[in-house]
Amino acid sequence: MHEFENRQEGVLSVGGYSLSAAEAGSLKTEEDGSLLSVWSGDQGSLLQPLTGFSGHSWEKRLDDSTLRTHLRRPFHATVVAHTSPIGRAAGETGVLVALAWTGTDKAEAQAWTVVSSESGQVTLAHPDLGNWTINHELIPQLSPSS
């Protein structure tokens, strides 16, 4: 969750965990609704934007034509969610909410759904992990998932 106050026009972005690989061909990106993921073998990294975002892109290095930026291995992929241009009005504020995960458990690597929400609280449901209620003053009201 990120609260922002812009003073000039810009696009905000939130990235998931970068997944590195020794072989570029082992990196596989997937888009399933709002669940964005990259996998290399049994290791995965997911980003699930919940509110405030208008799209996404992939930050990747899949060959030697670009500079290496990941320290662990030569190749990587990272999903990055972004907003539409914002900040035209001085002091424009907002909140961005996204869930990020990394690991090897495919059962955990599924999308959360919004069960209920009101300002300051959201209850999420996961097929394997069950329900999760989060209370925080910055949480905006989110639309329930269908």
In 3D space, the residue among 144, 145, 105, 146 whose CA is nearest the CA of residue 128 turns out to be 105
Band of residue 100 on the pLDDT scale cut at 50, 70, 90: very high
The answer to whether the CB of 36 falls within 8 A of the CB of 48 is yes
pLDDT for 146 equals 54
Mean pLDDT, to the nearest integer, of 9-35?
93
The pTM score is 0.90
Both 6 and 77 in one domain: the answer is yes
Three-state SS string over 50-87 comes to EECCCEEEEEEECCCCCCCCCCCCCEEEEEEEECCCEC
pLDDT for 66 equals 83
pLDDT for 144 equals 83
Both 87 and 145 in one domain: the answer is no
Both 97 and 56 in one domain: the answer is yes
The answer to whether the CB of 102 falls within 8 A of the CB of 17 is yes
Band of residue 30 on the pLDDT scale cut at 50, 70, 90: very high
Mean pLDDT of the chain: 92
Both 47 and 118 in one domain: the answer is no
The answer to whether the CB of 79 falls within 8 A of the CB of 38 is yes
Q: What is the domain range of residue 136?
A: 112-146
Residue 118 pLDDT greater than 70, yes or no: yes
